[in-house]
Chains A and B, each alone.
Chain A
Amino acid sequence: AQSVTQPDIHITVSEGASLELRCNYSYGATPYLFWYVQSPGQGLQLLLKYFSGDTLVQGIKGFEAEFKRSQSSFNLRKPSVHWSDAAEYFCAVGASDSWGKLQFGAGTQVVVTP
């Protein structure tokens, strides 16, 4: 069975500092991996996705993520955060036949301080 772990429930970062959000997954075959962002009371917006190929993927809003098969990880990074990056971030894993049926992590709440 698929599972996703986001070890950090809450992260506080200063504006302009770098950000890294951790995601570990459990899946037997090559997973399809996603990062979504959610502002309060809103739906989820896709930041980036990994299906195959280059293990470093670029997304929207200056985010990137690196797939490391040996560590079963798909960590999200941003070199310099903006106040607008304050939100909740979800890592998700899907299978090749999952039709978008995803397993989500519990989320990481990011707070950005001045």
Chain B
Amino acid sequence: DGGITQSPKYLFRKEGQNVTLSCEQNLNHDAMYWYRQDPGQGLRLIYYSQIVNDFQKGDIAEGYSVSREKKESFPLTVTSAQKNPTAFYLCASSPRPSTEAFFGQGTRLTVV
């Protein structure tokens, strides 16, 4: 079945450590996105990529980094510079401009 796979579902890290969240899609979509979700704040865009080897910052990119070496993959690294990294992270993709985004099941990151 086609879809977006995020792994792991739950992730625990110690403060000060970098951590990488995986996102893979087999929908052949050009664009991929990372959103962060906090209670009562909806979703906020971290980074997005419209094509391989290119990506742009979203609204809250500070403390995060991404890469897009393959069309299917868009990993997100939460660095130690991110002040409050505990959140629910959602990856999404879309096939072309002006279309809806399709979401993965999310990764809940807890930093202790």
In the complex, which residues 28-65 of chain A have their Cβ closer than 8 Å to any Cβ of chain B?
Answer: 32, 34, 36, 41-46, 49, 51
In the complex, which residues 90-114 of chain A have their Cβ closer than 8 Å to any Cβ of chain B?
Answer: 90, 92, 94-102, 104-107
Main secondary structure of the interface of A (DSSP, over half): loop
Closest to B98 in A: A96
B48 in the interface (beta carbon within 8 A): yes
Q: Give the interface centre of A45, A98, A99, A105 by most chain B CB atoms within 10 Å.
A: A99
Shortest C-beta distance, A28 to chain B (Å), equals 16
A45 to B90, CA, bound (A): 12
B105 in the interface (beta carbon within 8 A): yes
B41 and A106: CB pair below 8 A? Answer: yes
A106 and B100: CB pair below 8 A? Answer: no
Q: Across the interface, which residues of A come within 8 angstroms of B99, CB to CB?
A: 100
Q: Give the interface centre of A41, A44, A45, A96 by most chain B CB atoms within 10 Å.
A: A44
Q: Across the interface, which residues of B come within 8 angstroms of A100, CB to CB?
A: 31, 33, 92-94, 99-101
B45 and A101: CB pair below 8 A? Answer: yes
Size bin of chain A's contact surface: 20 to 34
B100 and A105: CB pair below 8 A? Answer: no
In the complex, which residues 51-106 of chain B have their Cβ closer than 8 Å to any Cβ of chain A?
Answer: 58, 90, 92-94, 96-106
A43 and B104: CB pair below 8 A? Answer: yes
Closest to B106 in A: A43
A104 to B38, CA, bound (A): 12
Q: Across the interface, which residues of B come within 8 angstroms of A94, CB to CB?
A: 98
Which of B92, B98, B105 lies in contact with A42, CB distance below 8 A?
Answer: B105
Which of A41, A46, A51, A105 lies in contact with B42, CB distance below 8 A?
Answer: A105
A9 in the interface (beta carbon within 8 A): yes
Which of B42, B48, B103 lies in contact with A43, CB distance below 8 A?
Answer: B103
A78 to B43, CA, bound (A): 24
B42 and A97: CB pair below 8 A? Answer: no
Shortest C-beta distance, A8 to chain B (Å), equals 13
What are 9 A-B residue pairs whose CB atoms fall within 8 Å in the complex? A43-B105, A44-B103, A97-B97, A99-B48, A101-B45, A104-B35, A104-B43, A105-B42, A107-B40
